[in-house]
Amino acid sequence: MTTRKCLPTTEKRNPKSTHIDTLSTLEIVDLINSEDRMVPQAVGTQRESIAAAIDLIVDCFRESGRLFYVGAGTSGRLGVLDASECPPTFGVPPTLVQGIIAGGRRALVRSIEGAEDHPEDGAKAIDKRRVSPKDVVVGLAACGMTPFVRGALRRARQIGAATIFVTCAPEAVKSLTADIIINPVVGPEVITGSTRMKAGTATKLVLNMLTTTAMIKLGKVHGNLMVDLRAVNNKLRDRSARIVMELTHLSRRRAEALLRRAEGKVKAAIVMHFRQVDLPNALRILDECDQFLRKAISI
């Protein structure tokens, strides 16, 4: 008698969608939407683990460490996406948050499914990035079993780096070795095994929380304004001016002139206005205040 292999939740059939191919277009849309509503609630169950992971990442950044996401397929692409958006949004160097995807850059635009099958490749990717004990490595695998990701996390732990694992499969949790495990259980996908759907959405929500909250706690946000953004295009230059106008009540013309004197640095421009100092002194004040604008302009 053979024993049936226990499938992870992410690979099980969803009983609500077994006849999805017989539904009308609107009925399919409604079904997918109803399943998607489960995702935020599932992520919410992991609030304490997410908060603990954020505190770990913040401690890492304060000790000059880096954050690495490691994944394959959809999970890997989401990690690269989150990492790539940190520099323009928060003004951090591109080396601070990095995404590693099985198969390399080519896998970002074309599926290379076999690239995830070798744990030794994950370990090599960690060594290539020169991960150190000061860093944090976050494994991303909807099913929790991806060999590339597990190999990377195993190597990171050997080095002494802090580790976090994000998976939507509760069956995988007991076999995972990481400092923190984040496990939003979103249930089987509408299309069996298509983890680009609910599991992908859950992963994106978790990554949004990790980096956004970490950056807030590092002083990259004042109120809800991204005061450390990099104005690398017209949209962001306009946003920079609007942020300065909002906080200083200056006209657009005067705000733009102030930004030019601040070499485009929003946070420094605001300090220059409130403390009536030049750019070098504004930067010094920010350093003395650990880069927190609220503290820098309230002294």
Q: Which CATH number characterizes residue 208's domain?
A: 3.40.50.10490
Q: Is 85 a catalytic residue?
A: yes
- The conformation of residue 143, written as its DSSP 8-state character, comes to S
Question: Same domain for 58 and 126?
Answer: yes
Question: Same domain for 101 and 208?
Answer: yes
pLDDT by residue, tens only, the chain of 299 residues: 344 467 889 999 999 999 999 999 999 999 999 999 999 999 999 999 999 999 999 999 999 999 999 999 999 999 999 999 999 999 999 999 999 999 988 888 777 767 788 999 999 999 999 999 999 999 999 999 999 999 999 999 999 999 999 999 999 999 999 999 999 999 999 999 999 999 999 999 999 999 999 999 999 999 999 999 888 889 999 999 999 999 999 999 999 999 999 999 999 999 999 999 999 999 999 999 999 999 999 86
Instruction: Tell me how far CA of residue 272 lies from CA of 218, 230, 284, in angstroms.
Output: 20, 18, 11
Q: Is 116 a catalytic residue?
A: yes
Which candidate in 85, 256, 263, 288 is catalytic?
85
Domains of the chain: total: 2
Which candidate in 11, 35, 116, 189 is catalytic?
116
Instruction: Tell me how far CA of residue 72 lies from CA of 32, 158, 254, in angstroms.
Output: 24, 21, 48
Domain that holds residue 124: 39-217
pTM, to two decimals:
0.92
Q: Helix 198-217 to helix 47-62 angle, to the nearest 10 degrees?
A: 50
Does the residue 200 lie in any domain? yes
